[in-house]
Amino acid sequence: MPKVIIVLPAFLFLSCLVATLHGNELETEEFWKIESKSFDSYWQQRAKEAEESNTKAAVADPFEVTANLSTNINQVLSQSENKTTNGRMLLRGHKDKNGPCEAYNPIDKCWRCDPNWEQNRQRLADCAQGFGRKTTGGKGGKIYVVTDSSDNDMLNPKPGTLRHAVIQNEPLWIIFARSMVIYLKQELIMNSHKTIDGRGANVHIAGGAGITIQYIKNVIIHGIHLHDIVPKEGGMIRDSVNHFGLRTRSDGDAISIFGSNNVWIDHCSLSKATDGLIDSIMGSTAITISNNQFAKHDEVMLFGANDNHDVDAKMQITVAFNNFGKGLIQRMPRCRWGFFHVVNNYYTHWLKYAIGGSMHPTIISEGNKFIAPDDRFLKEVTMRVLTPKSEWEKWQWRSIGDEFLNGAFFVQSGPEIVKEKSQYAQDMIMANPVKFVDQLTQHAGTLSCKVGKPC
């Protein structure tokens, strides 16, 4: 196991005024006209560097990435079916004296059957798939153990707290000494090259502010409960060892991704936030959202905040193996501009729509299971927001091998996906394993990992 440390900061105090996210106001042009004036030179430079990094992180042929993920899923399923007589014992992994390890999708198959996962925590960083596949978080860095659940000092965070861990400049793999509930008094502003790893503990971020990933790169958030997130008034908050600034009111997102790239959110349980559970805006890209449990929320995920923000054209996000459960209303996700691969998710509830968007996003829905609500007026999976048919019928929204139950239906539009689109495109449209979605998403959300046993 890597050496355990607590990092002590060398504080260099600089001040600034920076805009943060403001609920549904994000989708109004007036908000952005006002807030853009509050960026000082520090954040202007951060924004410039982030835009360059985001451009490099976006791939030229997103179909190639979606095809590779589809191929990996099919390969794992084929291997598993070859080992069983009826296909029901999917991805059982290797056995130990306590019985079989159950790992039901390619991401989980990569690490969950290792009984020594606690000693090999950073192996997780090799397991991302989809657009966030290059995300390594704090891999190669030291282990930082969070021993204190308090969050009392925004300018000089106490060593041993989560806030102190995430602002460090070096790569860190952040774990927790015990189960705890962390009440964030202000938004938790992260620095690059960090993994927040909740395995082996029952960690809740609840009742206060959420996590902000702004103008940074290479972040993994794994195995955390986030719920009952509310806006906070803002104030002087440290965002790195050598910088703090005056933040405006936070918006109440559980996780806000703002102008960042290479982000992987995996095996988290998210519910009940004032705004979104996961919002990705301002050109954020190279993101995978996988194996999560979503419940009890209205506007679940917003990808792109404003119709005029064409910087979101580079946004590329994979949404895979998630369970969209009870009490959800809409935006699973709601997309603008970019390219979105929604694959092997289980949709059991919505009260308005499941997948929506505006500003001609490309949405590939592959191998998902949709169960419509009983209301006969809410059967449609899709929603084109405030756009005439003459425009949206050109957008590429395609359903490949999805399953529709209780009258659910997906309104397709735009060109079909052709094999010549990329060298891997024929793999992308192989026979789809939608019959396995129940198993692929069976362990969505946080896991109960025990030391010395497969997770």
| Poorest-pLDDT segment among 6-10, 105-109, 210-214 | 6-10
Report the pLDDT value the prediction gives residue 380, as an integer from 0 to 100: 98
Going by pLDDT thresholds of 50, 70 and 90, the confidence category of residue 103 is confident
Region 154-165: mean pLDDT is 98
Report the pLDDT value the prediction gives residue 64, as an integer from 0 to 100: 78
pLDDT at 384 over 80: yes
- Rounded to an integer, what distance in angstroms lies between the CA atom of residue 231 and that of residue 217? 24
Going by pLDDT thresholds of 50, 70 and 90, the confidence category of residue 419 is low
Residue type, 203: V
List pLDDT tens digits, range 54-73: 988 888 888 877 766 766 66
- Rounded to an integer, what distance in angstroms lies between the CA atom of residue 170 and that of residue 449? 27
| 303 Cβ contact list (under 8 Å, min separation 6) | 279, 280, 281, 312, 315, 317, 333, 334, 335, 336, 338, 340, 361
List pLDDT tens digits, range 167-186: 999 999 999 999 999 999 99
In terms of Cα–Cα distance, which of 3, 1, 2, 5 is closest to 164? 5
List pLDDT tens digits, range 421-439: 543 333 232 334 788 899 8
Domains and their CATH numbers in the chain = 49-70+122-440 (2.160.20.10)
Q: Which residue has the higher pLDDT, 352 or 89?
A: 352
Question: pTM to 2 decimals?
Answer: 0.86
Going by pLDDT thresholds of 50, 70 and 90, the confidence category of residue 154 is very high
pLDDT mean across residues, the chain: 86
| Poorest-pLDDT segment among 66-80, 114-128, 322-336 | 66-80
Going by pLDDT thresholds of 50, 70 and 90, the confidence category of residue 75 is low
Cis peptide before 454 (omega within 30 of 0): no
Report the pLDDT value the prediction gives residue 84, as an integer from 0 to 100: 46
Region 248-265: mean pLDDT is 96
Q: Are 270 and 292 in contact (CB under 8 A)?
A: yes
CA 343 to chain centre: 14
Report the pLDDT value the prediction gives residue 24, as an integer from 0 to 100: 52
List pLDDT tens digits, range 271-283: 999 999 999 999 9
331 is catalytic: yes
Active-site residue (options: 121, 133, 238, 331): 331
CA angle centred on 305, ends 304 and 306, rounded to 5°: 105
